[in-house]
Structure 1
Amino acid sequence: MDLAVEGAGADVAVVRCTGRLNMVSAPALREAVTGAISDGRPRVVVDLAGVDFMDSSGLGALVGCLKSARSAGGDLRIASPSAQVLMVLKLSNIDRILRPHDDAATAFDE
């Protein structure tokens, strides 16, 4: 999986993921989110538009990242999940905690 982290405001980071979010790549996602939080961006958007597959390890990584962000006084949002990722989120009921947003740019607009 490829990851790119970019700033999207004073305290917001966008982590763009491409590929498979699974047992092999989940630690890299956790590291990217932890790095963004450490850099003073506790509000994180994980853009899943490029993720074509996610398993339970990927799901666990997202939940762990959410806990890290909230512990730092921020939050984690997900954006643009593919059909397969959305199915995993719905089957696990995690979509109730991590509501999918249409795109990364508007994930924190409320």
Structure 2
Amino acid sequence: MNINLDVEVIDDGLSTIVELVGEIDAYTAPVLKESLLPLTEEAGANIIVDLEKVNYMDSTGLGVFISALKSSKEHESKLKLIHLQERVYRLFKITSLDSIITIDTTVRGGN
């Protein structure tokens, strides 16, 4: 099993930035969930997930972001996704999740 996702969490004082590099699928989603969900449980937290270097995501990844959104609403924190590549953004759009998750609409290129 090849786990091809790097997660880096950076606290800049105002926000917590989660930089992701690789692919989000059934194998890597638990790694993402383990890193992301605890951040959403802090009241007032501002979490920004940078997906610029994520070139593939399947429905398991969507599930993680739905869980994170639900947790952020329960704990009164904020979740925002930024720098989505076109193919990843398309997943949010076709599932209408782009209407409930805050996504920076500056879509990056990519295959």
TM-score relative to the length of structure 1: 0.82
Residue pairs, 1:1-110, within 5 angstroms: 1-10=5-14, 12-37=15-40, 42-101=45-104, 102=106
Report SS of the residue matched to 1:24: coil
Report SS of the residue matched to 1:53: strand
Aligned length in residues: 102
Asked which structure has the greater CA Rg, the reply is: 2
Structure 1 residue runs without a partner (length 5+): 104-110
Q: Indicate the percent of aligned positions where both proteins have the same amino acid.
A: 26
RMSD over aligned Cα, in angstroms?
2.0
For 1:13 and 1:50, the matched residues in 2 are separated by 17
CA-CA distance at 1:66 after TM superposition: 1.1
Residue in 2 that maps onto 1:106? none
Query: Which stretch shows the higher mean deviation, 53-62 or 19-28?
Result: 19-28
Against the structure 1 CA distance between its residues 63 and 38, is the aligned structure 2 distance closer, same or farther, given a 3 Å change threshold?
closer
Tell whether the 8 Å contact from 2:43 to 2:77 is kept in structure 1 after alignment.
Answer: no
TM-score relative to the length of structure 2: 0.81
Structure 2 residue runs without a partner (length 5+): none
Tell whether the 8 Å contact from 1:43 to 1:69 is kept in structure 2 after alignment.
Answer: no
Report SS of the residue matched to 1:23: coil
CA-CA distance at 1:41 after TM superposition: 6.6
Partner amino acid for 1:82?
Answer: Q
Report SS of the residue matched to 2:52: strand
Against the structure 1 CA distance between its residues 73 and 99, is the aligned structure 2 distance closer, same or farther, given a 3 Å change threshold?
closer
Partner amino acid for 1:6?
Answer: I
For 1:53 and 1:63, the matched residues in 2 are separated by 17
